[in-house]
Amino acid sequence: MPLKKTAATRRAVEMEIELPGTPEQIWQAMATGPGNAAWFVPTIIEEKVGGRLEFQLGGGATSHGVVTVWQPPHRFGYEELGWSGEAPPLATEIVIEAASGGTCRVRMVHSLFTDRDDWDKEMESFETGWPAFFAILRLYLRHFAGEPAASSRPMGGFGGDPAAAWAELTRRLGLDGARPGERRDTAVDGAPQLAGTVEEEYRIGDHQALMLRLDTPAPGIALMGAFSYAGKSHIALSLYFYGRESAAVEARESPRWHAWMAEQFPFT
């Protein structure tokens, strides 16, 4: 839902999703470091109130914080410090509730306690950024829950607007016009190979993305996206490999994709 100003000094963004699995499975995926790395970004979480938290966002960027709520398998909370310049700490709470049919309802709330509107746009961007990652989480829980995982997030820049960045990215990867259910392969025009089934495509605001469930070079998930941040267009590939060989596959494939991104979409 849109940004809410629920009190004179509180701003909040609330999202609710349904996920397959038990509360314990979803807790492991959302409240532990290895779990977050399997669908979001490499993460460190000390599993206790007061524990250290760190999200490694790619491109050398990190977000640090502290665990504020630890009630497995239902409530997890944390505060991120310095998440956006001089912004106050960003508080996040995740509530997991069992539902019917082997699913759970998950509510995530981001709260910022301030009477200034300096960071409203960044908070509103959570609603465009999270849905693609929630789709990865849903696919991970359905097909790969609990498997060893390794991930990588090559990133690049683009001089035009996000729509032009998306058109150029999909063209160079042979993904232009891709639709759910199709099998696609990125090994065109010198790009490294990712091949699999198109699962979903997104267009939320100026954020566009496409998700593949991979069978080559290994079982996994790839999310390709273009979006604007801080007034500039960015491109990101979020790559997740699963299974006993996942670390070896990531170690081999990640340098190829970082090199390709640096050549095709260098940051200026």
Confidence at residue 86, expressed as pLDDT on a 0 to 100 scale: 73
Which residues have a Cβ under 8 Å from the Cβ of 33 and sit 6 or more positions away? 42, 43, 44, 45
Q: Which of 206, 126, 221 is nearest to 167 (CA)?
A: 206
pLDDT of residue 18: 97
Which burial class, exposed, middle or buried, applies to 263 when counting CB atoms under 10 A from its CB (0-12, 13-18, 19+)?
Answer: exposed
List, run by run, the mean pLDDT of 10-residue segments along the chain (268 residues).
Answer: 62 91 97 95 96 87 93 97 77 96 94 71 75 93 94 93 96 95 93 96 87 97 90 93 97 97 93
- Answer whether 160's CB lies under 8 Å from 234's CB: no
pLDDT score for 204: 81
CA distance 131 to 223: 12
Question: Exposed (0-12), middle (13-18) or buried (19+): which is 33, by Cβ within 10 Å?
Answer: middle
| Per-residue confidence (pLDDT) for residue 46, from 0 to 100 | 98
Domains and CATH numbers, the chain: 4-143 (3.30.530.20), 149-264 (3.30.530.20)
Q: Are 246 and 149 in contact (CB under 8 A)?
A: yes
DSSP H or E segment with residue 36: helix 33-37
Nearest to 47 by CA among 63, 67, 62: 67
* Distance of alpha carbon 193 from alpha carbon 202, whole angstroms: 22
Cβ neighbours of residue 259 closer than 8 Å, sequence gap 6 or more: none
Phi, psi of 227 (to 5 degrees): -160, 170
Token pair belonging to 242: 């699963």
Q: Which helix (H) or strand (E) holds 8?
A: none
DSSP for residue 55: E
CA 154 to chain centre: 13
Q: What is the pTM of this model?
A: 0.88
Q: pLDDT value at position 113? A: 79
* pLDDT on residue 165: 97
